[in-house]
Structure 1
Amino acid sequence: MVTASAWLHDIGYSPALAVTGLHPLDGARYLREVLYADERLCCLVAHHSGALVEAEERGLREDLAGEFGLPPEPLLDALTYSDMTTSPDGGRLTVERRLSEILERYSPEDLVHRAITRSSPALTAAVRNVEERIAKLG
């Protein structure tokens, strides 16, 4: 499930799918309504990488939270880890560098910049949670 969500989490960026401008919500709706995807997959896509905070910035928090339940934290952390440690071109990087890279793409006035700034502690914590789980596995 996490692997599938890692591949599909940004599908809502497609101009053909964009309805609300909140790519996690647009992508999850597409997966649910057009592809009849598993609800767990839709929920992971809907809530990936601080989506609730961006939804709040866009006035869509109730829509997102009302349509898609929060996935189990370990699964959401694993998806966040995948997203926050991979560059746009597929390279590996630290969560700190990834957050910086995202913030560099948007002006401080942009709602994505504000959402990432607000989400950064939780995103970093999710990455650390996964790193700790990996370390315990040896």
Structure 2
Amino acid sequence: MANWSIRWAEVELGATLPRRWAHSKGVAARAAELGHVLGKDADLLEAAATLHDVGYVPRLAATGFHPLDGARFLRDEHGADERLVRLVANHSFALLEAEERGLRKTLEAEFPLLEEPLLVDALVYCDMTTAPDGEQTTAQERVAEILSRYGLHSLIGRFIRRASPEIFAAVERVEAALASHPR
């Protein structure tokens, strides 16, 4: 699944949105570091990490809400694995952003949140500890970067301020899992 996701993410993001592609590759590299913690779900996490931002591609941006647009693309054009699609749809507390956009009911109805807390947290960790250029960062630095890029009172600014306590908690839970499962 991870190899398939790399191919499609590169096709969709590589030429069109090279910075998003760099970020996605960095998020996937973080996911690879968690393989020993996630076991059988390691490949799924890498695939979701690679594809989590595919909904930013202009030709796919039907609603302008990238988690929903990306999940619909994966489901409708590729018949992708349901768990993969639901991870992409709900990555990094997307329900809170969906609420800001008036799309929460749509997102919940089409792509219910997975009841797999470590897997969901792991994708948050990978996304929120990777800078836009693909380099590693802290969750605090990433949230600050998002706020500076979009503005404190923008839709994204409101969302990220609401989500940040949950983001930081998810990152802490993954860091604790990493500490209890050393390589």
Q: Structure 2 length normalisation: TM-score?
A: 0.74
1:52 aligns with 2:95: yes
- The count of aligned residue pairs is 138
State the one-letter code of the partner of 2:75.
R
Question: Deviation per CA, 1:13-50, whole angstroms, max 9, x where unpaired?
Answer: 01010011110000000000001100000000000011
* Aligned residue in 2 for 1:66: 109
Q: Is the 8 A contact 1:50 1:116 kept in 2?
A: no
5+ long unaligned stretches in structure 1: none
In structure 1, how many angstroms separate the alpha carbons of the residues matched to 2:60 and 2:141? 29
Q: Quote the RMSD (CA, aligned, Å).
A: 0.7
Q: How far did residue 73 of structure 1 move?
A: 1.2
Write out the 4+ residue segments of structure 1 that deviate beyond 6 Å after TM superposition: none
Alignment of 1:25-40 (within 5 A): 25-40=68-83
Identify the match of residue 130 of structure 2 among 83, 86, 97.
86
1:95 Cα offset (Å): 0.5
1:18 maps to what in 2?
61
Which stretches in structure 2 are left out of the alignment for 5+ residues?
1-43
Structure-1-length-normalised TM-score: 0.98
**Which structure has the larger Rg over C-alpha atoms?**
2
Percent identity over the alignment is 55
Within 5 Å, which residues of 2 pair with 1:82-121? Answer: 82-121=126-165
